[in-house]
Amino acid sequence: MTEPTTEFPPPKILTLSSTHKPILITQGAEGRLYKTPSPFQPNQFCALKYRPPKPYRHPILDARLTKARISSEAKVLDRCYREGVPVPAVLAKDAAAGWMMIEWIEGEPVRVGINTWLGERPEDDAALDTTQEDETPLIDLMKRMGVAVGALHRTGVVHGDLTTSNMMLRPWADDRLPNGHGDKTEKAKAVAGDVVVIDFGLAMQSQSDEDRAVDLYVLERAFASTHPRAERLFHHILDSYRESFKKAPGVLHKLEDVRMRGRKRSMLG
Amino acid sequence: MSKRPATETSDPALTSKRPKPPSGVTMSLERIRLEHIPESYRVYGALFRDVSNASFLQAQLISRNPEFEYAFVDASTVLSRAHLLAAVWNAVYTSVEGNLRTPNVHSEVVASLNINNNIADGYRRWGITPDKTKDLVVVKILSSPDTLGDAQQEKDVWTRLTAQVKGRPVQLTDQEIAQVTDWQKVRKYYKMNGAPVLDQTKDEAEKRKKMESLAIMGMALRGL
Ligand SMILES: Nc1ncnc2c1ncn2[C@@H]1O[C@H](COP(=O)(O)OP(=O)(O)O)[C@@H](O)[C@H]1O
Ligand SMILES: [Mg+2]
């Protein structure tokens, strides 16, 4: 028993039956994410998000916080789904036990798709990157990201942790995939698919331009550090965001203030 | 165990004319497999059309007749198999955890279909109602396998059930369920009217999938 699962015992819910072994996908600061069969949809998987007890916190306080956070995340997902924002549906939850099961989204995080597109070349290629290469597939993905974030903000939800890891790229059906063979098609496939927003652990309800602008700023910074070679294309996200709901231009105006403050802060400290 | 060939049940015209098979010969009872519950559990489900003794059946529930330990669900309030099974799963899980809110695992199935914590309201909307329930979903949950084996247990459940429920058994499939779903009622019970996600969806099959997800989510979030 040298497997990491012994280090992190799975929640009780994953020990009740054992037709498939749960797969630990990520182990974050706040919780873990497992891939496991759906409880009641045959031959389908679900994502189980689990927040284990924190030993350093008072048990009563810890239980209350965990319950509130799972409930809050489930509630935001419900609201977004109803409103037509592409998010996974909730299947079941036991907030007191610290878990919820949500629809499994096929595909890879957007981060992986973009990195596949960019390839393995070193970062200092950035200047040489503006070759004649047709970047339309990547730009189209950025536009879909802007639309997804716009849809989210339009419903009155700010995400709190927008990154390319917290967006999934759900593959299209074959007939919508770019056809052909070779490297070019493979690259285009890596950035094809619907953008699905995940991880609402830090989300909250807000209609304020300021909160929305901070959401975009977090994405901008995360994008620049994760994909420095695509940074010059980031504006495509904002361009399509601008068109996605009525209040967007005001938010983008606010974003300039937020950037300014961000810069000042980094100069000071 | 003999199963009817798929072609016979997939044709609605044929299905509605078929006479009730003699009990114990052809089984429309199905062993339902769920994940993340103890392996000792056995869950069976069936769908009866044109049930004529709903009043009698409800009276047995009210008098807690031990011969009638089933979840009786008015099939018009069920929109798909996954929708029903979400409630069944929740009831079994709640029972395993020792957190039942109702007298037993079977009543818990009915209460689990509700999106609020009002148990009487859940029975009234999703449960069996005299003079109203025409088509009936029956779920039987057993916490342990029979010593005589699964095949025998399944047969026993079916023999007893067909003697108790006066109706025409059909397979518990999405197609059969969709024939009896009252969509207006379902939309109302799960507060789907005006949900933008449904207005945005043109394709009918896709729309039903989204309605299913909305219902399951409402149940999962009950009371929030
Ligand atoms: N519904 C889902 N379907 C498929 N993969 C998922 C799903 N939810 C999360 N993941 C994967 O698990 C990772 C962690 O999940 P996330 O909700 O972001 O938790 P955390 O708060 O730990 O970041 C994601 O980056 C993604 O790769
Ligand atoms: Mg995350």
| Predicted pLDDT at A269 | 62
Q: Among A103, A129, A148, where does a domain finish?
A: A103
How far apart CA B60 and CA B51 sit, in angstroms, is: 15
Q: Is A215 a catalytic residue?
A: no
Spatial distance between the Cα atoms of B93 and A221, rounded to a whole number of angstroms: 43
User: Distance, CA A14 to ligand 1 centroid (Å)?
Assistant: 17
When pLDDT is cut at 50, 70 and 90, the band that residue B197 belongs to is very high
Give domain status of residue A7, yes or no.
no
Q: What are the contacts of B23-26 at 24+ separation with CB within 8 A? A: B23/B158, B23/B159, B23/B162, B23/B163, B24/B155, B24/B158, B24/B159, B24/B162, B26/B2
The confidence band for A2, taking pLDDT boundaries of 50, 70 and 90, is very low
pLDDT average, residue stretch B62-89: 97
In a domain, B88, yes or no: yes
Interface membership of B88 toward A (CB under 8 Å): yes
Query: Quick one: pLDDT at residue B15?
Result: 43
Nearest residue in chain B measured CA to CA from A89: B213
Helix axes B81-96 and B105-112, enclosed angle (nearest 10): 130
- What's the rounded Cα separation, in Å, for the pair A95 and A50? 9
Reply yes or no on whether the pLDDT at B11 is more than 60.
Answer: no
Q: Quick check: is B42 in a domain? A: yes
Spatial distance between the Cα atoms of A170 and A105, rounded to a whole number of angstroms: 6
Q: A199, A202, A218: which to mutate for ligand 1, most atoms within 8 A of CB?
A: A199
- CB-CB under 8 Å, A83 with B196: yes
Question: B37 and A16: CB-CB below 8 Å?
Answer: yes
In a domain, B190, yes or no: no
| Residue A87 touches chain B, beta carbons under 8 Å | no
For residues A245 and A154, is the Cβ–Cβ distance under 8 A? yes
pLDDT of A154 strictly over 80:
yes
For residues A251 and A139, state if they share a domain. Answer: yes
Residue-wise pLDDT tens digits, A66-107: 999 999 999 999 999 999 999 999 999 999 999 999 999 999
Tens-digit pLDDT profile for residues A21-63: 899 999 988 899 999 999 999 999 999 999 999 989 999 999 9
Q: Which residue's CA is the nearest one to ligand 1's atom 13?
A: A26
Domain boundary among A61, A86, A103: A103
Q: What is the DSSP letter of B19?
A: P
- Average pLDDT estimate for B99-128: 97
Q: Residue B214: its chain A contacts at CB < 8 A?
A: 81-82, 89
Mutate to test the pocket of ligand 1, among A8, A23, A25 (most ligand atoms within 8 A of CB): A25
CATH of the domain at A99: 3.30.200.20
Whether residue A71 is contained in a domain is answered as yes
Give residue A25's pLDDT: 96
Whether residues A159 and A203 fall in one domain? yes
Residues in chain B closer than 8 A to A18 (CB atoms)? 39
**Average pLDDT of span B49-57:** 98
Instruction: Find chain B residues with C-beta within 8 A of A20's C-beta.
Output: 35
Residue A124 has a pLDDT of 52
A159 and A250 co-located in one domain = yes
Give helix A248-268 / helix A209-226 axis angle, nearest 10°.
60
Choosing from A76, A103, A130, the residue where a domain stops is: A103
Cα of B22 to nearest chain A Cα, Å: 30
Question: A98 and A140, same structural domain?
Answer: no
Residue B152: the pLDDT is: 92
At residue B99 the predicted structure's pLDDT band, cuts being 50, 70 and 90, is: very high
Q: What is the pLDDT of residue B189?
A: 98
Number of domains in chain B: 1
pLDDT digits (tens, 9 = 90+) for A193-211: 999 999 999 999 999 999 9
| Contact between chains at B196 and A82 (C-beta distance less than 8 A) | yes
Instruction: Let me know if residue A134 belongs to a domain.
Output: yes
Whether residue B218 is contained in a domain is answered as no
What amino acid is encoded at B26 in this protein? T
Burial of B62 (0-12, 13-18, 19+ CB in 10 A): exposed
Residue A104's alpha-carbon distances to A83, A160, B36, B67, B219, in angstroms, are 19, 22, 16, 40, 18
Q: B223 and B90 in contact (C-beta within 8 Å)?
A: no
Residue A217 has pLDDT above 60, yes or no: yes
Read off the tokens for A247: 């209040």
Nearest chain A alpha carbon to B96: A16
Q: Do A216 and A255 form a contact (C-beta atoms < 8 A)?
A: yes
Same domain, A187 and A212: yes
User: What range does the domain containing A249 cover?
Assistant: 108-261
A83 touches B: beta carbon within 8 Å: yes
- Which ligand does the CA of A196 lie closest to? 1
pLDDT at B13 over 90: no
Residue A37 and residue B35: Cβ atoms within 8 Å?
yes
Range of the domain at B40: 26-181
- Say which residues have a Cβ less than 8 Å from residue A203's Cβ, sequence separation at least 6: A72, A73, A76, A157, A158, A159, A160
Q: What is the pLDDT of residue B7?
A: 41
pLDDT of residue A132: 66
Residue B217 lies in a domain: no
Which pLDDT score is estimated for B14?
42
Q: Which of A8, A27, A33, A108 to mutate to test the pocket of ligand 1 (most atoms within 8 A of CB)?
A: A33
Is residue B199 situated within a structural domain? no
On whether residue A43 sits in a domain, the answer given is: yes
Give the CATH number for residue A158. 1.10.510.10
Examine residue A3 and state whether it is found in any structural domain, yes or no: no
Q: Are residues A87 and A118 both part of a single domain?
A: no
Token digits of residue B221: 């979030």
pLDDT for A156-177, tens place per residue? 999 999 999 999 999 998 777 7
Beta bridge partners of A101: A48, A92
> Both A182 and A72 in a single domain?
no
If asked whether residues A127 and A211 sit together in one domain, one would say: yes
Strand order in the sheet with A90-94: A23-27, A32-37, A45-50, A99-103, A90-94
Q: Would you call B37 an interface residue with chain A, using a CB distance cutoff of 8 Å?
A: yes
Length of chain B: 224
Confidence of residue A264 (pLDDT cuts 50, 70, 90): confident
Average predicted confidence (pLDDT) for chain B: 90
Per-residue pLDDT, averaged over B197-217, amounts to 97
| Residue A90 to residue B216: CA distance in whole angstroms | 7
Angle at B25 between CA B22 and CA B26, to 5 degrees: 95
In this structure, the residues whose C-beta lies within 6 A of any atom of ligand 1 are A 25-26, 28, 30-31, 33, 47, 49, 88, 102-105, 109, 165-166, 168, 198-199, 201
- The ipTM value here is 0.91
> Does residue A157 share a domain with residue A94?
no
* Cβ-based contacts under 8 A for chains A and B: 86
Give me the percent of chain A exceeding a pLDDT of 70.
92
pLDDT at B25 over 80: no
Residue B72 structure tokens: 């009786």
Residue B71 pLDDT: 98
Q: What ligand is nearest to the CA atom of residue A104?
A: 1
What's the gap in Å between B74 CA and the centre of ligand 2? 41
- Cβ pair A89:B217 closer than 8 A: yes
In a domain, B38, yes or no: yes
Residue B24 pLDDT grade (very low, low, confident, very high; cuts 50, 70, 90): very low
Total structural domains in chain A?
Answer: 2
Is 90 exceeded by the pLDDT of residue A17?
A: no
Q: Which atom of ligand 1 is nearest to the CA of A28?
A: 22
Q: What CATH number should be reported for the domain holding residue B176?
A: 3.30.2380.10
- Is B221 close to A74, i.e. CB distance below 8 A? yes
* pLDDT tens track for A97-152: 999 999 999 999 999 999 999 996 655 555 555 556 889 999 999 999 999 999 99
- For residue B2, being part of any structural domain is answered with no
